[in-house]
């Protein structure tokens, strides 16, 4: 497939709206597109678009991007070498790059390349959680914007909680506690506690940072939602026990919790991507990210070599000016295509290679178990 084909895939993906929970049209398009590119493609039981290509034996390298976007519909347009539109960066650009890189490099890699367009990453990571029903791959690349010249090696964790405070109805002039005031004090206490645990001058990746994303209520009932980005080793059970004990009449509900994850520069996937960036003419970098991704869901369960990579400037995520530089997108396709054979070769010499061979059939069966649902038209 040509450069024009890769650019056309990206533009078509961006033109198809796919707000979280409404990814079906994009999943159908992507499954069909992967079929055209030589993949055995399908839509699995969660609604993920899944394509497999390459050797039936040997390691399985899984590339997971996400189909969904946050709401918003900035006009899709090209201005020079920049394509504007919702999802260009987060994360249709990285996913489209994976699709074309897998098609180009699978035969040379000597591996089974599995590309997944996952649903609801911006929500509950339902698509990634569905993948956990299958056996793990031998290596994993998460498609997120790291910039085409850098590899993301870590993501902060997330603890999202809802605090509901109730107090007996009273007059505004009464000295009795008021629910909304108690809730404000609770939010302030959370900020002070987390700031005390992690000094403000430390790196952001190593600090717990709470954000109040919703506050509503009155004298009798009030509700606050807190989005806490947490570092490695954060003791969530201990924090929740403390939070629940702050005041009587307060209910704390965990809406979402994923731990922070981090790999190292010596990880085979990190090394292969970095080497490919260098071969393509740039000095590779490594990043840790302050947000979360499907890596937070998959890494603790699978514990295989992994990293996140993809074109785009993550500072543009969710903005009205979201856009991707098309030259960066094509560079990322080249990097991924160059990295896949190297990842495969690194897996072949790892001590765990015996496990890979013994469980190849189990892994393929596990992938097949996730297939239910709609098959792509061929």
CA 60 to CA 110: how far, in whole Å? 10
CA 162 to CA 164: how far, in whole Å? 7
Q: Is 68 a catalytic residue?
A: yes
Same fold, 3-156+260-369 and 157-258: no
Count of CB atoms situated within 10 Å of the CB of 289: 18
Nearest to 334 by CA among 275, 268, 286: 275
Percent of the chain with pLDDT over 70: 90
13, 98 Cβ separation under 8 angstroms: no
The band of 207, judged by pLDDT with boundaries at 50, 70 and 90, is very high
Q: What is the DSSP letter of 287?
A: E
114, 52 Cβ separation under 8 angstroms: yes
Judging by beta carbons within 10 Å of its beta carbon (0-12, 13-18, 19+), is residue 164 exposed, middle or buried?
middle
334-346: pLDDT as tens digits: 999 999 999 999 9
Domain ranges of the chain: 3-156+260-369, 157-258
* Beta-bridge partner residues of 63: 115, 141
Range 157-258 classified under CATH 3.40.50.1370: no
Catalytic residue among 90, 120, 121, 334: 121
Q: Is 90 a catalytic residue?
A: no
Q: 3-156+260-369: CATH homologous superfamily?
A: Zn peptidases (3.40.630.10)
Higher pLDDT, residue 356 or 189: 189
Rounded to 10 degrees, what is the CA torsion of 83, 84, 87, 92? 0
Catalytic residue among 23, 44, 52, 68: 68
251-281: pLDDT as tens digits: 999 999 999 999 999 999 999 999 999 999 9
């Amino acid at each position: 497939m040509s450069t024009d084909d890769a650019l056309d895939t990206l533009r078509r993906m961006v033109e198809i709206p796919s707000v979280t929970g409404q990814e079906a049209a994009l999943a159908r398009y992507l499954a069909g597109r992967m079929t055209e590119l030589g993949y055995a493609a399908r839509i699995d039981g969660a609604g993920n678009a899944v394509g497999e290509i390459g050797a039936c034996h040997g390691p399985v390298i899984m590339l997971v991007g996400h189909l969904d976007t946050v709401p918003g519909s900035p006009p899709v347009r090209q201005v020079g070498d920049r394509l504007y539109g919702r999802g260009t960066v987060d994360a249709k650009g990285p996913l489209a790059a994976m699709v074309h890189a897998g098609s180009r490099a699978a035969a040379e890699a000597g591996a089974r390349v599995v590309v997944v367009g996952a649903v609801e990453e911006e929500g509950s990571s339902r698509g990634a959680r569905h993948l956990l029903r299958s056996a793990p791959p031998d290596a994993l690349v998460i498609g997120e914007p790291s910039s085409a010249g850098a590899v993301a090696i870590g993501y902060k964790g997330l603890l999202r909680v809802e605090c509901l405070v109730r107090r007996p109805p009273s007059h505004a002039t009464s000295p009795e506690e008021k629910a909304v005031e108690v809730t404000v004090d609770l939010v302030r206490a959370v900020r002070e506690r987390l700031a005390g645990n992690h000094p403000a001058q430390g790196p952001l990746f190593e600090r717990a940072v709470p954000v109040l994303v919703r506050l509503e209520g009155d004298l009798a009932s009030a509700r606050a939602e807190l989005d806490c980005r947490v570092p490695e080793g954060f003791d969530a059970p201990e924090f929740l026990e403390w939070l629940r004990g702050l005041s009587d009449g307060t209910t704390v509900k965990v809406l979402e919790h994923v731990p922070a994850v981090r790999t190292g520069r010596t990880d085979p996937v990190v090394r292969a991507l970095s080497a490919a960036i260098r071969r393509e003419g740039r000095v590779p970098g490594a990043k840790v990210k302050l947000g979360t991704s499907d890596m937070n869901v998959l890494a603790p369960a699978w514990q295989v070599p992994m990293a996140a990579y993809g074109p785009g400037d993550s500072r543009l995520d969710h903005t009205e000016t979201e856009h991707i530089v098309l030259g960066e997108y094509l560079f990322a396709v080249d990097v991924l295509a160059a990295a896949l054979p190297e990842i495969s070769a690194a897996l072949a010499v790892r001590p765990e290679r015996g496990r890979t061979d013994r469980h190849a059939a189990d892994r393929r069966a596990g992938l097949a178990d996730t297939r239910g649902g709609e098959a792509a038209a061929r």
